[in-house]
Structure formats: structure tokens, C-alpha cells
Structure 1
Amino acid sequence: MLFMMCCIAVMAATCSQIFKTLFSENDKSSQGRMFAMNLLTVVMSLCFAAPVLELMFKAFSAELGSSMGMQSNRWTVWAVLVGSGAVAVYGYLLYGGTPKDKRGQFWPIGRSIVLSGVVIVGVMSSISHLTFFRSYQDGIANIELLRKMAPLKDLAQCNSGVAFVQFREDDGPIKYRCPTLLMFGGETSQPFAPWPDFVDGESQELAVLIHDTIQAAQKLGEK
């Protein structure tokens, strides 16, 4: 939910900047700066909200009967990281362009705090995803189905029907991540759960169950 609130804040900043340009009288010397600021806000809003826009595009394509297949959504996570950087630059330029006698007022300070929060959420969300899914072998597991095969007692804090898992070849515990609220790219092998809407942990029982399932599938394939 926090990520969605940040997306709304970025969109609101973009609309505010564009309306400010349209309805304010600017001299020729400031037109270039205003154009650059408008372009920056459009870039940051499209990049930061990339997971949401992709979800909407896929939903629209599904309504038209078009199948998107199992495409990777990793590019949207990189876009969030780029968008977070653009938000940081925009906030810096916006604060720098505020007259010094007004920088201590409520709105300039509040606006800077909100934009700083957006940057933190965006960076944490993208970095946590990119560092968790480090290999194409990492993926998603249907915990609801696996619980019917084993109790998975050390996975008690995972209340989601699915979990992101890091693949490992040895018999050690598997690192998992359970989304608690939002998940983008659920049809892909590596969905995106924004920070902080997930729970991390390790599970030995899940590792044993996945290892046994893979071995059983391999033996079945050899017959």
C-alpha cells in the first residue's frame, strides 16, 4: 500500500508541475528550465509507476483477448530504481528553486519530506527485489499447495498463498519471501513485491520438500 501511495504522490507532483507551467506566466529565460522540469516529472512518473502501468496494460490486453505469455517483469523493477533517482533530482531542483525566505515554510519542507519518502520506498523496493532474485533459478512456490503435502511449521509467519524462494543445490534451508499485500507480475517466475509489504525468512522443511519433489519428478522422467 505504501508503494501505491508513493505512485499517487509522484503522479500528483507531475500533474502539479505541468499545471504550474500551463497557467503561470514565465519569461523566456525560465522556459527552458520549466520544460526540463516537466520532462523530468514525466520520466519519473512513468518509471516509478512502471509495475502499475504494466499491470494495467496486461489487464487491458487480456480484455482484448491478447495473451502476453510468461514475460519477465524485471525491467519494471529497474525502472522503479531509475524513477527513484529522478524523484531525488526533481526534489533537489524544486527545493533549490524555492526562494530562500520561503524554504522554511510548511509546504516546501513537507513536499521535500514526501519526495524523500518516495525515494526511500522506491530504492528499498527495487534493491530488495534485485538482491533477492539473483539467478534465473530463483522463483515462486505455491505454498498453499505445498502445505497439503507437508505441515511446513517453520513457515508459520508466511500467510500468503505463494512465496518467493531462492534456489540452492545443497540441503541447507531455503530463503523465502512472502508478499503480504501487493504483488506485481504474478504470472511471471519472479514477481515483484514492493517494500515493506513482505516477510522474509528461512525454511528447512520447505527446502526438503522442494528437494524431494524435484528428485521424484526426475525419477518419473527417467522411467
Structure 2
Amino acid sequence: MLYMGLCSFMMFMALSEMIRTMTAIGNGSFAGNRFIPLALVLLTLALASPFFATFYTLSRPVSMDALSSLSVGAQWAGIAAAILLCILYGYRAWKNGRFWYTGAAIASVVIAVIFANSLLFVSRSDAGIVATFVLNNDDSNDVQCDRSVLLVHYNKGTPTEWRCPTGIMFMSDASKPFLPWPDYHGGRSQHLTTALDQITDSAMHLDLSQKP
């Protein structure tokens, strides 16, 4: 999984900087800003905010709206942290010319792109999740997904854009989860739109029939 692998690499870099700084301070040879290594660690932890948010909500009753807001907020925190880390490591790479700093700056850019890719999908008003059991397994079904849920952009009557997870989906109970690229495949489906149209029409008719 690319996202978790990059986060692990960034944590290794941050801890290495922290240990190097503490060693230099102990030897009396440190002349830089001792708060920068701490900032690197905290920002790196923010990269994994969807992971921490997922575990935070596992044993706590949270409404769907609050869960979705937490998911989107965690993704914004992640992209902000990635941009700041890119600046910090980019400056260190320019100043010191070390290969690992350049690698960390590039990794930060990739993580920022991963968060941006997700936010561009889930931040839209028509975004949500759909259980795959609504699909009929007939010849007209053009959605190939063996997972229990899909991420969708649904508008009545138009082909529905969908993404099917192939890896870990964070905050999976939220209507706007974090599904990191490239751990999904997707497409557009008129068959999915038809199935969702039938469900929404049935729900509207049921609601009207229950009104006095």
C-alpha cells in the first residue's frame, strides 16, 4: 500500500532527525533550531491522521455527519502536513544536499497528491457510499467490485462515477471515507444509476404513502 509505505518512510526520517538532534545536543555540538525536529515528528503524525481517526471512532458512538466531517478534516490535515513537510525537507535538501532529504520532499509531494485525489472525489455534494448488494448480477451489470461498498458520485439519470477499493479504506463507515490512490479501480456506470434511481424513487413513494 503506497500511502502507508510513504508514511512509514516519513516517520523513519522524522525519528532519525529527532535522534540526530538529541545526540548533537548531548554532545554540545548542535547549533540549529531544536524545534524543527519536533515539528517534523508532529507533522509526520498528521500524515497518518485518517489512520488515527479510524481507530479513534472504532469504540465510540459517532453520528454519520460527525464521522464524515472527521474524515474530511483528517484528510485536510494530512494534505496541509504534507505540504509543510515538503517545504521543510526541500529546504534541508537544498541547504545540505543530502539524498534522503530529497527523497522525503518527493514523498511528501506524492502524499499530498494522494490526499488531493481523495478530497477532489469526496468533497463534492453528490459523493457518498453505496452497498454493492444493490447491484443485480445480470448481463447489464458493468460494475466489477468484490467489496461491500463503493464510493460514488450519484446524480439521477446520468452515469454514476464509482470507485471500488482494492486495499484499505480508512473511515469506511463515513459517507466520505479516505480511499488512497492507487488502491482502487473505478469507472462510470449507467446500470448503477438505474439501480440507485429505483431505490430513491421507492424511498420517495414510501415516504409519501406514510404521510397523513
Report the Cα distance in structure 2 between the residues aligned to 1:220 and 1:56, rounded to whole angstroms.
37
Report the Cα distance in structure 2 between the residues aligned to 1:8 and 1:86, rounded to whole angstroms.
17
Structure 2 residue matching 1:155: 3-state secondary structure: coil
Asked whether the equivalents of residues 90 and 101 of structure 2 are also in contact (C-alpha less than 8 Å), the reply is: no
Count how many residue pairs are aligned between Structure 1 and Structure 2. Answer: 203
Q: Is 1:165 aligned with 2:155?
A: no
- Which of 192, 206, 210 in structure 2 is aligned with 1:220? 206
Structure 2 residue matching 1:186: 3-state secondary structure: coil
Report the Cα distance in structure 2 between the residues aligned to 1:206 and 1:148, rounded to whole angstroms.
9
Structure 2 residue matching 1:8: 3-state secondary structure: helix
How far 1:124 moved relative to its partner?
Answer: 2.0
Instruction: Report 1:30-45 matches (<5 A).
Output: 30-31=31-32, 33-35=33-35, 37-45=36-44
- Which of 178, 188, 192 in structure 1 is aligned with 2:178? 192
| Identity, % of aligned positions | 23
User: In angstroms, what is the RMSD of aligned CA positions?
Assistant: 2.1
Alignment gaps of 5+ in structure 2: none
Asked whether the equivalents of residues 40 and 86 of structure 1 are also in contact (C-alpha less than 8 Å), the reply is: no
Opposite residue 134 of structure 2, the aligned amino acid is: L
Instruction: Please list the CA deviations of residues 44-65 of structure 1 after superposition, one character each: whole Å capped at 9, or x if unmatched.
Output: 2122111111123234xx1xxx
Instruction: Report 1:18-97 matches (<5 A).
Output: 18-24=18-24, 25-27=27-29, 30-31=31-32, 33-35=33-35, 37-59=36-58, 62=59, 66-70=60-64, 71-72=67-68, 73-97=71-95
How far 1:152 moved relative to its partner?
Answer: 5.4
TM-score normalized by the length of structure 2: 0.86
TM-score normalized by the length of structure 1: 0.82
Report the Cα distance in structure 2 between the residues aligned to 1:189 and 1:43, rounded to whole angstroms.
28
Report the Cα distance in structure 2 between the residues aligned to 1:77 and 1:152, rounded to whole angstroms.
35
Alignment gaps of 5+ in structure 1: none
Asked whether the equivalents of residues 48 and 83 of structure 1 are also in contact (C-alpha less than 8 Å), the reply is: yes
Q: Is 1:179 aligned with 2:202?
A: no
Call closer, same or farther: CA 1:214–1:140 in 2, change over 3 Å.
Answer: same
Report the Cα distance in structure 2 between the residues aligned to 1:43 and 1:168, rounded to whole angstroms.
40
How far 1:109 moved relative to its partner?
Answer: 2.1
Report the Cα distance in structure 2 between the residues aligned to 1:76 and 1:113, rounded to whole angstroms.
24
How far 1:88 moved relative to its partner?
Answer: 0.6
- Which of 138, 141, 145 in structure 1 is aligned with 2:127? 138
Structure 1 partner of 2:2: 2
Asked whether the equivalents of residues 78 and 112 of structure 2 are also in contact (C-alpha less than 8 Å), the reply is: yes
Opposite residue 90 of structure 1, the aligned amino acid is: L
